[in-house]
Amino acid sequence: MSLYNDPIGHWVVVTVAIALLLFVVLTATAYTVWFERVALGRIQRRPGPNRVGPFGLLQLAADGIKLAFKESFVPAETDKLLFVIAPTIAVAAAFLSWAVIPIGLWYNVQYWIADVNIGVLLIFAFSSLNVYAIVIGGYASNNKYSLLGGLRSAAQLISYEMALGLSLVPTFMIVGSLRLRDIVEYTVHWGWYNGPIPLILLTPIGFVIYLMAAVAETNRAPFDLPEAEQELIGGFLTEYSGLKFVMFYLAEYINMITVSALAALLFFGGWYLWVIPPVIAFFIKIVLFLFLYIWLRGTFPRLRYDMLMRLGWKVLLPLAIANVIVTGIVLVATQG
């Protein structure tokens, strides 16, 4: 195996690249929160944060430092270990997906951490661990609203996980690979046009299902049932404070960026956008998706829990299966 023969320098470069990626993701998370607060403010015709630093850009740094120096206590009569493990699992599950997300190419150098054959499945695997964070967080809080919120949220996550997985099957059929790089670089030969295309043209229904399932997977409005203040206080977050609360919050925003990046890679041609340099093109697409998320939150009221589960099981799941069947038939028929 070449692994043993490689000079150590290679792995130093990889380690530095990973540290850099984690730093970028963390920073991006902070600015996503800023972006959300400003955009939501504008949607509601108010200025949003604008006091700390230019355009309020340092607001998140101020909030972060404040929260870090707040007391982060563990409630009485609870399993202390589990209470601490829950936010740790949440952040780990959120970060790990970024190991297989390719960032793009720049002057013929490609940027990714791990380029593996099972690509997208690995992201599913890591994000499926998020359920533990939520159930254990709710369970260990020793609070009936936390427990109920955690269970509800977990049931929501697993219900939409299937629709999410099935919505991508047509993409895999067309490309014939699970590797994210292969999916982005999928090229068509249509008459005079030779080159990559945004796959949404071929699987529009898959994209619609993905979009809805992704919003539900990240627990964002209008599917933000775990944080239904009127019924559940703060759901599984109720008893969390200080840095442990920050960790849950961090995980939520990392997940939001992850699903935006995945949408850009799987359906909108990733880093290909006309003449715009690849990494910047990818960045623009992610920002547009994040804005879509915030726009949804600013526009739609929260669903009721039975409506949410009905949508997942009775609409999205059958629709996703039908989409797989129809795409399969069309693909095989046109291929001859």
> Binding to other proteins (CB under 8 A): which residues in 133-152?
135-136, 138-139, 141-148, 150-151
Nearer to other proteins, 39 or 202 (CB): 202
Can residue 57 be called a binding residue for other proteins (CB under 8 A)?
no
Please give the Cα distance from 134 to 269 (Å, whole number). 33
Give the ranges where 129-241 is alpha helix by DSSP (H). 130-140, 144-167, 169-175, 180-184, 204-217, 229-232
Do the Cβ atoms of 99 and 114 come closer than 8 Å? Answer: yes
The DSSP output letter for 106 is E
Q: Quote the least distance from Cβ 149 to other proteins, whole Å.
A: 12
Peptide bond into 196 cis (omega under 30): no
Give the residue, chosen from 62, 169, 188, 279, that forms a contact with other proteins under the rule CB under 8 A. Answer: 169
Q: Quote the least distance from Cβ 311 to other proteins, whole Å.
A: 11
Do the Cβ atoms of 267 and 199 come closer than 8 Å? Answer: yes
Nearer to other proteins, 192 or 306 (CB): 306
Nearer to other proteins, 243 or 273 (CB): 243
* Binding residues for other proteins, total number by CB under 8 A: 100
> Binding to other proteins (CB under 8 A): which residues in 4-23?
4, 6, 11, 14-15, 18-19, 22
> Binding to other proteins (CB under 8 A): which residues in 293-312?
305-306, 309-310
Note the residue count of the chain: 336
- Tokens 């993409």 belong to 171
Can residue 165 be called a binding residue for other proteins (CB under 8 A)?
yes
> Binding to other proteins (CB under 8 A): which residues in 312-331?
313-314, 317-318, 321, 324-325, 328-329, 331
User: How many Cα atoms sit within 13 Å of 195 on the Cβ side?
Assistant: 7
Tokens encoding 35: 């972006």
Please give the Cα distance from 323 to 98 (Å, whole number). 28
Residue-wise DSSP of 247-261: HHHHHHHHHHHHHHH
The piece of 44-52, 78-86, 103-111, 293-301 that touches other proteins (CB under 8 A) is 78-86
Can residue 166 be called a binding residue for other proteins (CB under 8 A)?
yes
Q: Quote the least distance from Cβ 29 to other proteins, whole Å.
A: 13
Please give the Cα distance from 59 to 27 (Å, whole number). 13
Tokens encoding 10: 């290679």
Give the residue, chosen from 40, 57, 113, 208, that forms a contact with other proteins under the rule CB under 8 A. Answer: 113
The DSSP output letter for 199 is G
> Binding to other proteins (CB under 8 A): which residues in 221-250?
233, 238-239, 242-244, 247
Q: Quote the least distance from Cβ 129 to other proteins, whole Å.
A: 7
Helix (H, G, I), strand (E, B) or coil at 158: helix
Nearer to other proteins, 288 or 325 (CB): 325
Q: Using N-to-C axis directions, what is the helix angle for 8-43 and 242-267, rounded to 10°? A: 100
Tokens encoding 38: 């400003």
Q: Quote the least distance from Cβ 291 to other proteins, whole Å.
A: 28
> Binding to other proteins (CB under 8 A): which residues in 177-216?
177-178
